[in-house]
Amino acid sequence: MQKILNYINGELITPKNNQWLDNYQPATGEVYSLIPDSDADDIALATEAAKAAFPSWSTMPVGERSKIMLRIAELIEEKLPELAKAESIDNGKPLSLATTVDIPRARDNFHFFATGIIHFASEAHPMEDKVVNYTLRQPIGVVGCISPWNLPLYLFTWKIAPALAAGNCVVAKPSEVTPMTAFLLSKICQEAGLPKGVLNIVHGLGQKVGDAITVHKDIKAISFTGGTKTGATIASKAAPMFKKLSLELGGKNPNIIFADCDFEDALTTSVRSSFANQGQICLCGSRIFIERSIYTQFCDAFVEKIKQLKVSFPTDPDANLGAVVSKPHLEKVLSYIQLAKEEGGTVLCGGNQVHLDGEYTNGYYLEPTVIEGLEYTCRTNQEEIFGPVVTLTPFDTEEEVLQMANSVEYGLAATVWTENLKRAHRMGQKIEAGIVWINCWLLRDLRTPFGGMKNSGVGREGGFEALKFFTEPKNVCIKL
């Protein structure tokens, strides 16, 4: 069986303890590869390698650093079909999605930050005659990047690329649930001539490898994307060590549909924003609020469209939804559907596990599920489910929907559908979320600040925000 290896000091190596974990293929429910069950010893090794690589990587002319990163982007592009296939096998998502979204975005992340760093600048503050302050933005040193399973290579590279571009050396951990494309990226880095030790990828469990990254005294900053509880654990350990922290956590995003919207556009985009990637995107709009005057019309048309979605094995070119990522996750989502029923919800469509034929009978498939009739305050409407489940709730006024939208502990993203310009601006200002889409969803410009407020996180990624996070600003004051 194929063994995934750690990438430490430029070499692909086994974990020191020679322990391995099973890696499941969600489409079939079968184990198809093994991943290192690494621990603090491997993190120590990786951190030593990163420290040794730092002096030359951080002082390398920016143009040269950029060239190596552009080469990585080119190789991701060249190997797109292979990477997309690997991502789809590892995660269960439709191959078409991995081919058009995940891997192109991983390439773009490297390309974007490789070129972005060339344009990165800092401030000067002239004070009075003959005194000037200027800000140096220096790389931090060794930084840790920990990423989740829903958009594996996409989110892994979203952290690594700015960290490297800014001149840091990295110790990174992909999710143990979806390690394969990070492993393939290590081979790409070797081929691209990334100097040894600059990027180290250590595989294994969060409580061991992730924790070892969090508490290692020489890892000075942590960039994490994942669950809110895990974010809290990391913060509780890293904050007393005064590490810089960037936390991108969960969401429970509202999708608000006013009666004056472009109905067709709101409808078709809401199908995507509800169920893309099996609903496993932190930006998915899982709470759909619909103005009462169009509630029935929208519900009927929406449910009609959802019933036509095809749940199938990931390589089926017609698959709209593939498998969810793991058995425990499938069970978690099913338990929330049960909870919704207990809380008085009516399942308008879906609600069940799907059993495909042949080699896919044990895969983790779920029907896209639409539920109505729930209080906005109930657990189903307050807790992150992170699967193909949405709720529909009517509203009467702008004030009422704002109150319902903002009632959750999360504040990541929101979508608003209206043709009324003033209302669009009002909603944009009043919704408690780091990202507000008006008459669109998931339109991403990589320069914009990305992240959430409230329990959805701390700090922002994207563009110069990420480069600022991965550098230490130092004020130099000179009296001439």
Where along the sequence are the contacts to ligand TXE (CB under 6 A)? 146-150, 173, 175-176, 206-207, 210-211, 214, 225-227, 230, 233-234, 248-250, 282, 384, 386
| Closer Cβ to ligand TXE, 276 or 402, answer by number | 276
Active site residue 145: no
| Contact status, residue 395 vs residue 368, Cβ threshold 8 Å | no
Of 277, 272, 270, whose CA–CA distance to 324 is shortest?
A: 277
| Closer Cβ to ligand TXE, 262 or 331, answer by number | 331
Shortest Å distance, C-beta 2 to ligand TXE: 20
| Closer Cβ to ligand TXE, 146 or 163, answer by number | 146
b/e code 412-440 from CB counts within 10 Å (16+ = b): bbbbbbbeeeeebeebeeebbbbbbbbbe
| Contact status, residue 136 vs residue 474, Cβ threshold 8 Å | yes
Of residues 87, 248, 367, 461, which has the active-site annotation? 248
DSSP string, 36-68: E---HHHHHHHHHHHHHHHHHHHHS-HHHHHHH
For 218, the 3-state DSSP assignment is coil
Neighbours of 61 (CB within 10 A): 8
For 168, the 3-state DSSP assignment is coil
| Closer Cβ to ligand TXE, 137 or 159, answer by number | 159
Token match 């992730």: residue? 210
How far is the C-alpha of 26 from the C-alpha of 93, rounded, in Å?
Answer: 9
Of residues 169, 189, 261, 282, which has the active-site annotation? 282
| Closer Cβ to ligand TXE, 167 or 250, answer by number | 250
| Closer Cβ to ligand TXE, 104 or 227, answer by number | 227
DSSP strand pairing (369-372 vs 389-395): parallel
Residue type, 335: S
Q: At CA 234, angle to CA 405 and CA 14, rounded to 5? A: 125
| Contact status, residue 457 vs residue 248, Cβ threshold 8 Å | yes
| Closer Cβ to ligand TXE, 399 or 409, answer by number | 409
- 87, 98, 277, 475 from 95: Cα distances, Å: 8, 5, 11, 49
DSSP string, 240-306: GGT-EEEEE-----EEEE-TTS-HHHHHHHHHHHHHGGGG-STT---EEEEEGGGHHHHHHHHHHHH
Shortest Å distance, C-beta 340 to ligand TXE: 16
Active site residue 191: no
Catalytic residues: 248, 282
